[in-house]
Copies of this chain bind each other. A is one copy, B any other.
Amino acid sequence: MGDSLGKVFRITTWGESHGPSVGVVVEGCPAGVPLTEEDVQTELDRRRPGQSRITTQRKEGDRVRFLSGVFEGKTLGTALAMMVENTDQRSGDYDEMAEVFRPSHADYTYQAKYGHRDWRGGGRSSARETVGRVAGGALAKKLLSTYFGIETLAWVSQVHTLRTSIPPAKVTLEAVEANPVRCPDPVMAPQMLETIEQARKSGDSVGGVISAVVRGCPPGLGEPVFDKLTADLAKALMSIPATRGVEFGLGFQAAEMTGLDHNDPFVLKDGRVATASNRSGGIQGGISNGENILLRVAFKPTATLMVPQKTLNTKGEAVDMKGKGRHDPCVLPRAVPVVEAMIHLVLADHALRAALNRDPGGLAARLKG
């Protein structure tokens, strides 16, 4: 019951790291949205490992294949399935995982929960599962950018203790993609890269923070009282492997403030209701207010290390284990397109739902078409 996300625009993903394939079914996308495999491939390529020496060296071709739901280049309005075959599976690297619980991995909890697990490369708990999310997110992105004018941009804003101070309003896609760390700060990016390289050399790993901004989101997305936009974004983002926290607007910093310092005064801008400041991060009462949506996601350091760690095996015996094969000392650069995908998926769901909130006469008129 946990492989699906969304109520109207809804995805269901499948796939284990070393199983036959990973994929996604998207339900609820309106008919007529133009979509090519290239639209999806572009996003998958951003997620793919092996793009540089700082990420895991697995060579994943990751060619997406449409299985259903697109005809003559446009969505049909019914289930849209996309798949990527798992081709580069060196599961021999993972044999030890059948017997040993890697510290801070999901090996033990999957075993405790299901009593039967695919230990090869983490199985369903592997970051490879996010391929389906990114594919589904590419369709959501297309829908949002083509019709709603909504654009999302994520970037690495912190690696270990290194932080960029570039304000979200100034971040561009070009600056993000200009370096392998996906940090738009030309000063900090090389230092972050160096930190990641040091972690690789020592067999260690580092965590960090991904920030994101959503531009052009109209007011009205988010549904009281449980499906607030903050709530649904938090869930979607916290479902990404290795996440440990999420915050909106000023986030935890808001906890240290007074109301006079934190409140955003309403003002008119270009004839529309706007806020003079944006400490709320574009969401008030759980509903978008038309300002930029601002959020941050904390990632813990990669659990797999290339140095020995103490742990237990499945018999309960204390053992030392050391990672083998590929090593990804910092997941953040590759997680950037995943963060964007999760935001796109939530916004697509809520953009469609928001169209139903009012003006029942206008809704009825749509059926006369």
Contact = CB atoms under 8 A, between A and B. Distances in A.
A20 B225 contact: no
Interface residues of A, number: 168
A301 B259 contact: yes
A285 B241 contact: yes
A316 B273 CA distance: 7
A133 to B, nearest CB: 8
Interface stretch (A40-48, A97-105, A172-180, A183-191): A97-105
A209 B252 contact: yes
A10 to B, nearest CB: 7
Of A2, A32, A110, A114, most B-chain CB atoms within 10 Å:
A2
B147 A218 contact: no
A305 B234 CA distance: 28
Nearest to A306: B259
Interface in A218-265: 218-228, 230-239, 241, 243-252, 254-265
11 contacts: A2-B225, A20-B68, A30-B356, A31-B116, A33-B360, A72-B116, A205-B258, A230-B238, A234-B237, A249-B300, A263-B303
B359 A355 contact: no
A22 B279 CA distance: 31
A169 interface: no
Contacts of A280: 104
A289 B105 CA distance: 11
A129 B352 CA distance: 25
A158 interface: yes
Given A109-B289, A160-B258, 20 more contacts: A1-B223, A4-B226, A8-B8, A12-B79, A14-B80, A16-B68, A19-B68, A68-B124, A74-B116, A113-B220, A124-B225, A129-B225, A160-B256, A232-B235, A235-B238, A255-B299, A266-B310, A273-B316, A359-B366, A362-B366
A170 interface: no
Nearest to A19: B68
> How many copies of this chain are found per oligomer?
4
A288 interface: yes
Contact of A115 (B31, B218, B228): B31
Interface string A312-350: 100010100000000000000000000000000000000
A67 interface: yes
B301 A14 contact: no
Contacts of A12: 4, 12, 25, 27, 79
A83 B67 contact: yes
A104 B263 contact: yes
Contacts of A258: 160, 199, 204-207, 301
Contacts of A1: 7-8, 10, 27-28, 223, 227, 353
A23 interface: yes
